[in-house]
Every structure is written in structure tokens, then in C-alpha cells.
Structure 1
Amino acid sequence: MRNDVVRLGRLSGERSGDMMHFLSSMRADRYIAGADILVDIAHVLMLDRQKINDRATTRQLLPALLRLHDKGIPEEVFDDRFEDVHAGIESLLIESLGVEAGGRMHMGRSRNDEVVTCIRIRLREDLIAQMTALLKVREVLLTLSENHTESTMPGFTHLQHAQPTTLAHHLLAYEQAFSRDFDRLKEAYARVNQSPLGAAAFASTGYPIDREFTATLLGFDGLVTNTMDAVATRDFALETLADLTIMMANASRLCEELIFWSTSFVKFVIFDDAFCSTSSIMPQKKNPDTAEIMRAKSGSVFGAFSGALVTVKGLPMSYNRDLQELTPNIWRGMDDAGESLRLLADMLASASFDTKRMSEEAGKGFSTATELADSLVRSCGIPFRTAHNIVGRAVQKGDLSLATLEKAAGEVGGGISLAGKGLTQKDIDRMLEVRYSLELRKAPGGPAPEAVIAALGERRKQHHHDAELTRKKQAKLAKAKEHLIAEARRLVA
């Protein structure tokens, strides 16, 4: 195949292999090669409709493009000498059809609007895949929560026993966080799915193009109207990477807890062997490597976002070649996040929780002391701060017996006698029970089983709504692609 046709006019001289490789975007362009064919087909259909190209030219270009769509793009298109896949495909068409037909495909557009259109097409597909992966993780968390509404466990602050909760309540906290991640990606999708095609280099074109027509053919929801902004902006990619960064921070937090829970001194969870490794020297080891690597992958996504942000922070309007270096960060961030979320769902689904062990720990570390203080307020009529100080002093002394509480009340409670107010040891024992503490916490979103069950109903409704929304977006894109290819085949039939 001939050399890059884009260089033949203005430039001359041979490039070294290192220079061609340095300028080439081919590694990242493999992600958008399929999208580029769709953009080419839509653009050729528009050129035909607007009578910018005649039907004879259209009937030469479309069969060649449909062959590439059906059979795949030849490897030689990705040679570094073409700089990018757009020039590679155009060179292939000129080689096979001649310049009279092949040289007319690029009329009324630039690689600037072409590449960003392709990025948006691929990115919206990846966003739907990411939203689908989030739905799977949330589904697993909801199912686990439904199975553990009565499974008591300690809740922690500062990694110390704080108050009792349930495994369902704990897992629903992550489901709700991942639900917000879904919302962020959904909102990013709306800004990604806008067409920049027709902006050309940045100043549009003198040809009578129809931007709305190509946007509809390609399944976009609208246009990036200002043509300079259309080619220059990558804020849609930055937004997506920022959303993935937050999502991976949430995933990393969950992985950290699962790793901690799997240790031999906690023993709350056992991972399936498929998600673990062993030591090359210590035969007893079972390491939670999948969760650890996933925790590290969050750093890779953070880096992709940082790299992309720094790339664009000082760029003037409009297009600058620096943007080429931003694109690999998009695909790296999407790949690492997508792979992590898919494995996270599988790892969670295969995990086994030791509810007996969790229950043993639920009441340790004076975790029901808060409820004791609250109950002293209700039963003895004393101010909360007084009750808090009495219970805190009793904890300092090492137990929460009536005798110790009475002594503490004498020291910090202003001479209050709890026994004199009718408090008995039996009352204290009941107030310190884990189940008693949990059942009282039934306000919306609390850990009481009835509150968790109510929350599960709401979360299930939201999950169903989000799944249906994702399905509709996916179906719309599939329908648009089907119509695009059918229209191209019709013109060449």
C-alpha cells in the first residue's frame, strides 16, 4: 500500500522509523477502527444525499466500506507510516478504487472531527458496558443483602468496634455508593453522545453538509454545536475518567474491607480459591490476590485521569496534536475499570461469609455502649451528655455493671443514683444486647432488619429502573447501527 496520502501535498522527505512510531496513534486507534468505518459510511451517505458526491462515486465507496465492516480491517492499515487509522483507511480506498473515487470520501471533514466522533462512538459503547458491569455488582450486593438481613456483625469507625450492624446494612452502603457511580456515568453518557462530525478542522466547511443527518445515522442524541469546541474539547472524556476514578475508589474501599475480613484474625469471609493464590515458599498461604490487584488497579485509573487532565490543561483553542496522547488514557482507564468491576461481581458472588464469627464479634469492644447511654436517658430521665459521661467513665473502669455505673455516676453525674431511679442489672443486660440495639435502629436507612428490608425494596426498584434505562440506550445504538448499514446496502444493491 502506498504511503500516507495526507503528506503528499505539503510535505516531502522520508521519516525515520522512530519518527513514524513517535507520531503514530495506531495502538490507541485499534480501539476506534470499527467506529471509523461507521463514521465513513455515514459521511458518504450524507455526501450522496446532499449531492456533494454523485451516486456513481457513492456506489464505489460504500461496497468497499461495507467489506471492511463485514470482514474486518486489514492489518496493513495500522502501519505506523499512516500516522492514524483514518489516513490508513483512506489510503486503502485510494489504492483499491483509485483517487477519483477513493479521494472523494474525505470531502467536507477533517481528521479532527473524524477522530473525536470515533472516540465518542467507542466511549459511549464502553460506558454502557461499564454501566452494565455496575448493575451486576449491585445485583450481587442486593442478593447478598437479602440473604443477610439478620446476620449481625460489628460496625467499625477508626477500624475499632463501634456499634452493631448487620451484613445486609453494610453491603447496602456499597450498593448505594455504586448506584451513585451509575448515575454519574449515566449523566456523562448524555454529554458523550453528542456528534462533533461536520466541524471539520474547527471552522466547519463550505460544502452544504447536513450535520443532523449524520448525527441521526450514528445514533447520537444531538450536536456539539460550536465547531471549534467540537474538535477541541475532551471534557467528555475527562468527565468519564473522573467518574471512573470515583467508582474505582469505592471498589478499592470494598476490596480493602474484604481483604481485612479474610485475614486469619478476623475471619469474616472466605474467598473462592479461583480468586486467590498461594505462596511460592509458604505452603499454607491463601492470598486474596484478586482483591489486592483490583485495589491497585484503582491507582491505574486515577493515573489515567490525571494524565488526561494534565494533557489538556494548557492547550489553546482549537485542535492540538497533544490530544493524541490523551486518548490512550481513556482506553486504559476504561479497560482497567471494566475488568475490575466484572471480576468484583464474580468474586462477591462466590464469597462465603462466616455469620457465626461475625455475630461473635458484634457485641465486643463495648459496641452497645451507645444504646446503653440512650436507654439511660429514656429510663432515668437524665441528659444525654450526662449519660454519655457516665457510660464512658464505666468503660474506662472496665465493665458496665450496675455497680460500676453507679460509681461512675457518682464521679461524673453530679451525684445521680441510677439505682435510685429504678435501674436494675437486668435492665442493663437487656440494653446491652446486640439484638435489642439493632431493633431500635429502624429509622429509614438504619440497620434494623425491618429498615433494611424496606431499603432493599427501594434499592430493587432503582436497580430495575437503571437496568431498563441501560437496555434502552443499548437498543437505540444497535438500531441506529442496523439502520446505517441497511441504508448503505440499499444504495449499492
Structure 2
Amino acid sequence: MNLRSGRLKGKMSHEAASFNSSLEFDKRIFEADIELNTAHTTMLAKQGIIPEKTATNILKALKDLKEEGIEALDLDLSVEDIHMAVENYVTSKIGEEAGYMHTAKSRNDQVATDLRLVLKKEIKIIGLNILNFIEEIINMADEHKETIFVGYTHLQHAQPTTFAHHLLAYANALRRDYERLMDAYKRVDMNPLGSAALTTTSFPIDREMTTELLGFSRIMENSIDGVSSRDFIAETVFSLSMLTSTFSKICEELINWSTYEFGVVEIAYEYSSTSSIMPQKKNPDIAELARAKSAILTGELMTIMTILKALPYSYNKDLQEITPHLWNAVDNAKSILSIMHGMLSTITLNKERASELAKSNFATATELADILVREKNMPFRTAHKIVGRMVTVALDDNVSIDNIDLKFLDSISQELFDKPLDLEEDLIRKALDPLENVRSRKVIGGSSPEATQNAILSLRTFLEDESDKNGF
């Protein structure tokens, strides 16, 4: 079918046709377009808008096309998009009555609907994979509730924690990424079909029927908005960008931790490579690539936002250019998610090195200050000053944490406040012990085994609830 034969004179140049065509990335919405045309034709027949026999012929041709697959279509550049390719196929099977299929709809509402149908499925796939990844992280955390690890701020030793506690930071960040994405799903799950070009139609269509047939939760209530809105794409890509940003941060830590200087983690051989010249190298290439590829999502989001900026209502061809950026973002997010799941779940943790780091560089100093507050009833800032000076003197005099005792602390207090602390030796030892530090953090969100177990149970409940709600 040649749409130009009515209004326009002559053919589009080959260069212009190629520039105008969306066929390459329209392949993604092929099955959705068949689904849409099936629902729309069914509705047209039920409403008495087109003859029943014609509808039957159209539906039979659409069914045949679905079985034959996209290879059955003529995807020559003279065909602008997948919608015309599908219509041309039906026309080749049943003749001119195929034209009834386009009654009361436009390519404007058709493409908007197709995009939403496909994106809904993609979001559900990604959502399920995020939940599976969270479950894997929870299972890892369950095994490391007493595995001592050092926590960092400013990439400097801060306080002792456990590897489980650190893993659960990943799990909770991914939970928010999941929730953000599933919240965006609500805006995707809206039906623009029936908006037609921009003002709906004078035919008595039943939008509730097509909404139900296509599995949307609600109808878009303004037809201009229906054909021109792509905020659902921007919101989805933003959610995916935040998801891959989480992955990027995890990669950064795995890369650091796998260095000789940290020596805490070994990335599996399956996710490593070597040097072309240095035979000793085991490089974290996959983590580095995943870290870099997260930037693709940010770039695609900025491109989409820039295209959308200042577009007049309603439909403009500019919107066509958003689609390839959407699918590139979706595909990269899925790829990074899959590789992260495999890579993180197969790391090897060096527990001895982790414990050594947690004990070194006075990471337990905060607890000693807290002990002074509790036992000596002094203001925290006073305790902070005493312990801070203690660390400075110990480092200057090369005194290890194992050699910090009451005599050493009293000398610091005497210097600063002209009086000893008279603290029990046992309290000092417990305060400076990483495991005792961890066990004392029992509040919600803390690093103690009990607090960690409660966090794991909470996340497991979340996973069960989401699986039940979404039919995963």
C-alpha cells in the first residue's frame, strides 16, 4: 500500500526514505502490533463498525502472520514502519478489505500503544531478575553474619562491620531500584489506543474493551496526551539508569577489593582476563566494563530528555527518535544485571585479610569513645578528643592497637585534662575488639548478627510479597 499516492506526488528519495524509516528498531514491536490490531479489529466488529466477515478475515491473516513471524513481512525502505508492513501483509492475504483494520486508529496511537505493550513486558522481566539477584545477595549475607569486614567512609577505614552487613547495603539499594522501576510501570500501564491521530474518532469505539483485551490497567483520558506523551519512557530509563548506577558502585568496590593492596576479594576466573604482555595479570575487566556501561544509560536518558524538551503537543516525528534509545537502555540494563548477578555470586572472600583490615588503623576507635561516654558520663566531644589524641600518639609512637591499655589511655587523659580515666581494662579490650564492636550494634539497620538476621527476614518477606503480587 502506498500512502503517498493520495496526497503526495512522486516517491521519496532513497536517502530520505532511509532517514525517515523506523523499520530497524520497529522489529521490537512486531508481535505487539499484531496483538494491538487483533484487539482493535475484534472491538470494531463487536461495535458494528466493520463487517463481521471482514473482521474474521483480518484476524485470520493476523494469526497467520504471528505464526510465520517477522520474516513474512516485506521490510523494504519504501514501507515507513512496522505498522504499514503489517497492514501490507494483511492486504496481500485478503485484499483491500484489509484497509478496514485501520478504521478509527492512527499510527500515532498505534505506536504509542505498541511501545507500552513491549515495555511492560521488559520491565517485568527486569523486575524479576532484580528480585532474583537480591535473593542471591541475601543468601550470601546469610553465610557471613559474623564475617568481620571493615567499613569505609571517604575510602578510609571507618568502623568494623560484617560482610553480610555490607552485602545487605547492596540488597536494599537494589530493592529501591526495583520499587522505582515498578512504580514507573504504573505510568507505562496506560492505554492510549483510541486516541487516533490526536482527537479520538467519531466512530463509536469501545476503549474499555481494547484496554481489557490488551491487559492495560487504565485508559489515557486525554487523546492529545495519549499520542504525544513519552514521559513513561524517560521515567523508565531514569529508573534503569539508577539501577545501573548501583551496579557501577558495586563494581568499583569489587575492583578495589580485588587489588593486591586490599586483597579482600578474588573475582572468579570466568569474569577476569589477563594482559597481552604481562603474564602475571588477572584483570577485573568485566567489572570495569559493567562500571563503564552504566554510563550508557545516563547518556540515553539525557538524549531522551533533550528530544522531549520543548516539543509542542501533540505528535511530532521527533518522538520516533526516542525509541532506539529506549531499547538500547533496556538491553544494556538487562545485560549488566545478568553479568553482575553471575560475577558477585562467584567471588571468593579472603576472611583473614578482611579481619586483619578491620583490626588495623584503629577502626574500633568510635566504640572506645562510646565506652567513655557510657562508663564515665562524659560528653561525647570530650571522649572524641581523648580517643582522637590517643590514635595520633599511637601512630606517632608506632603503638599497635593490641598494646593500647589503661595506662596508655590514662596518660592521654592526664595530658589533656589533668586526671586519669580509671577505666576497666576489660572494657578497653572489648571496645577495641572488632567482633565485639559488631555484636554491640543491635539497633535496626545495625551490623550485629541479630540485626542482620532481622534485615534478611525483612527482605525475604519483601521478595515473597512482590513475587505473589506480580505473579513471578
- Calculate the TM-score normalised by the size of structure 2: 0.96
Which position in structure 1 is the counterpart of 2:251? 255
Instruction: State the shift of 1:7 in Å.
Output: 1.8
Secondary structure of the 1:443 match is: coil
Aligned partners of 1:369 and 1:391 also within 8 Å: yes
Q: Is the 8 A contact 2:65 2:72 kept in 1?
A: no
- 2:42 pairs, out of 42, 45, 50, with 45
In structure 2, the gaps of 5 or more residues are none
Residue matched to 1:279 = 275
Q: What are the Cα deviations for residues 423-447 of structure 1, in whole angstroms up to 9, with x where unaligned?
A: 2444322321111111111101100
Q: Does 1:121 align with 2:117?
A: yes
Q: Structure 1 residue 22 and structure 2 residue 26: aligned?
A: no
CA distance in 2 between counterparts of 1:416 and 1:115 reads 79
Partner SS, residue 348 of structure 1: helix
Question: What residue in structure 2 maps to residue 443 of structure 1?
Answer: 443
Tell me the residue number matched to 1:481. Answer: none
- The alignment partner of 2:100 has SS state of coil
Q: Conserved in 1, the CA contact under 8 Å of 2:371 and 2:427?
A: no
Asked if 1:406 corresponds to 2:410, the answer is: yes
Match of 1:189 among 169, 179, 185: 185
Equivalent residue in structure 2 for 1:88, among 62, 85, 89: 85
The Cα of 1:401 is off from its aligned counterpart by 4.0
Letter aligned with residue 429 of structure 1: R
Secondary structure, aligned partner of 2:471:
helix
Query: 2:67 is matched with which residue?
Result: 70
Partner of 1:142: 138
- 1:328 has 2:295 as partner: no
SS in 2 for 1:9: helix
Q: Is the 8 A contact 2:148 2:355 kept in 1?
A: yes
Contact 1:112–1:200 (CA under 8 A) maintained in structure 2? yes
Equivalent in the alignment of 2:459: 459
Worse-superposed segment, 348-357 or 221-230: 348-357
| 1:5–1:87 contact (8 Å) kept in structure 2 | no
> Displacement, 1:11?
1.2
| TM-score of the two chains, using structure 1 as the length reference | 0.92
Return the alpha-carbon distance in structure 2 between the equivalents of residues 318 and 445 of structure 1.
48
Give the partner amino acid of 2:80.
Answer: E
Instruction: Name 1:487's counterpart in structure 2.
Output: none
Report how far residue 464 of structure 1 moved. Answer: 1.1
Structure 1 residue runs of 5 or longer lacking an equivalent are 473-493
Q: Are 1:417 and 2:420 an aligned pair? A: yes
Q: Which residue of 2 aligns with 1:176?
A: 172
Letter paired with 2:240? L
Where 1:366 maps in the other structure, the secondary structure is coil
Is 2:207 aligned against 1:225?
no
Do 2:184 and 2:232's aligned partners in 1 also have CA atoms closer than 8 Å? yes
Once residues 348 and 262 of structure 2 are traced to their aligned partners in structure 1, the CA distance between those partners, rounded to angstroms, is 14
Question: How far off its partner does 1:14 sit?
Answer: 2.2
Q: Secondary structure at the match of 1:385?
A: helix
- CA distance in 1: counterparts of 2:361 and 2:76, whole angstroms: 65
Partner of 1:430: 430
Query: Do the aligned residues in 2 keep the contact of 1:145 with 1:172 (CA within 8 Å)?
Result: yes
RMSD: 1.4
1:485 aligned partner: none
CA distance in 2 between partners of 1:129 and 1:427 (Å): 52
Match 2:349 to one of 331, 353, 361: 353
Deviation at 1:77, TM superposition (A): 3.2
**SS of 2:287 mapped into structure 1:** helix
Counterpart residue number, 1:371:
367
Question: Which of the pair has the greater relative contact order for Cα pairs under 8 Å at 6+ separation?
Answer: 1
CA contact (8 A) 1:5 1:91 kept: no
Q: Distance in 2 between matches of 1:27 and 1:285?
A: 41
Contact 2:406 2:424 in 1 (8 A): yes
| Aligned-partner residue type, residue 153 of structure 2 | T
Deviation at 1:351, TM superposition (A): 1.6
Shift of 1:410: 3.0
| Maintained 8 Å contact 1:151/1:167 | yes
Where does residue 107 of structure 2 map in the other structure? 111
Q: Number of paired residues?
A: 464
The answer to whether the 8 Å contact 1:270/1:353 transfers is yes
Alpha-carbon distance in structure 2 between the residues aligned to 1:32 and 1:143: 37
Q: Give percent identity, aligned residues only.
A: 41
